[in-house]
Amino acid sequence: MYTFDSRVRYSETSADGRLTPEKLIDYFQDCSTFQSEDIGAGVEKIRSRGLAWMIVYWRVEIRRMPVLGEQIRIGTLPYEMKGSIGLRNFMMETADGERLACANSVWSLIDTKTMHPVRIPADIVDVYQLGDRLDMLYDSRKIRIPDVPGEEKLPVVVKEYHLDSNRHMNNGQYVRIAMGYLPPETEISVLRIDYRRQARLGDRIIPVVYELPSRIDPMTDHTDILDTGTASEREGRTVCVSLNDNDGRPYAVLEIKN
C-alpha cells in the first residue's frame, strides 16, 4: 500500500476541531495523485496522451475523525483494473495504527476529447501494483433517490474556486455542499457518493434534501417513513442529497448516514 504522513491542520477542521468530511476526501484523492506522480503516471503524463481519470463512486466508512494537530497516515491501494474501470481502496490511520476511516472508490479512464471511457492501456496497468482489497462493505455504486418528498434548497452556482485541474467541480466540493444541510454536530459513519455528470463553471446546482430513518434501507424501500422527529432523535438517520441541474437531472447523489 502506498502511504504518506501528515498532520491535521487548522484549515482542515470544523468548529469542533475535527477533520471535515470534504477534507477527508481531499486527503484520499491527494494520496492517489501522489502515488500516480511517483510511479510516472501522473496528471500531466496521462493528460499528454489525451486521458484523465474521473471518479464515479465513493463509499467511505468513518470510525473517528482525527482532531487538530493529530498525526495521521493516509494510504491507497488499487486492487483491480479492467476495461476502462479502476478500483481503489483508501485508508486513514493514526501514527499508532488506529484505523480512522477506509474507503472504496470506482474510477473511469476517459478520452478528454470525446469525454467517453476508454480501455486502460497496458503500460498504465503495469506501473500500478495491484493488491488485495480491504475488509469493508462493497455495495452497488448506484444510489437510488428516495421515493419521498424532498426539500429543495437555494441554488449554488459553480465558481472558479470550485474547479479542479480538469475544469470541472472538484470531488470534495460536492461533499462540502451536501454537508451544509446537516446539523454541524453530525457524526458521519458512512458517506456514499454517486457521481452522474460533471458540473462546470457557471452551472447552476439545485440541491434537494431527503431525510429518512436508518431502519429504512435506501437501497430497497423508501415507503415506510417515520416522522422527522426532534433534533435529539435525528441520530441514526440517513440523509440523501441530490445535486441537480435546472431540469432535475443529478450531477451527483450523496447518501450520508450518522
Whether 132 is in a domain gets the answer no
- Contact by Cβ (8 Å): 255, 211: no
Whether 145 is in a domain gets the answer no
Whether 139 is in a domain gets the answer no
Q: How many CB atoms sit inside 10 A of residue 119's CB? A: 12
pLDDT value of position 165: 73
Average pLDDT value for residue range 236-251:
92
Residue 72 C-alpha from the chain's centroid: 19
pLDDT value of position 214: 56
pTM of the model as a whole: 0.87
- Contact by Cβ (8 Å): 250, 244: yes
Residue 69 gets the label, from left (phi > 0), alpha (psi -120 to 50) or beta, of: left
User: Could you give the residue ranges of the DSSP H alpha helices within the chain?
Assistant: 21-38, 43-47, 122-127, 171-179
Whether 135 is in a domain gets the answer no
d(CA 87, CA 166): 20
Least confident of 5-14, 50-59, 232-241: 232-241
pLDDT value of position 172: 86
Query: Residue 34: which CATH number?
Result: 3.10.129.10
Average pLDDT value for residue range 233-258:
88
- Contact by Cβ (8 Å): 14, 23: no
pLDDT in tens, 77-121: 999 999 999 999 999 999 999 999 999 999 999 999 999 999 999
C-alpha cell at 241: 442529497
In a shared domain, residues 13 and 113: yes
Q: How many CB atoms sit inside 10 A of residue 8's CB? A: 20
In a shared domain, residues 43 and 106: yes
d(CA 61, CA 103): 6
pLDDT value of position 235: 53
Residue 221: pLDDT band with limits 50, 70, 90? very low
Separation in Å, CA 131 to CA 73, 134, 145: 19, 9, 33
pLDDT in tens, 158-209: 999 888 877 888 888 999 999 999 887 788 999 999 999 988 999 999 999 9
C-alpha cell at 120: 486502460
In a shared domain, residues 7 and 113: yes
pLDDT in tens, 109-154: 999 999 999 999 999 999 998 999 999 999 988 999 998 999 999 9
In a shared domain, residues 166 and 116: no
Answer with the residue of higher pLDDT: 93 or 236.
93
Of the candidates 74, 62, 68, 72, which has an alpha carbon nearest to the alpha carbon of residue 95?
72
Residue-number span of the structural domain to which 49 is assigned? 2-127
Boundary residue ending a domain (127, 142, 169): 127
**Structural domains in the chain (count):** 2
In a shared domain, residues 156 and 120: no
Whether 142 is in a domain gets the answer no
Of the candidates 197, 202, 192, which has an alpha carbon nearest to the alpha carbon of residue 241?
192
As a whole-number percent, the residues of the chain with pLDDT over 90 amount to: 77
pLDDT value of position 168: 81
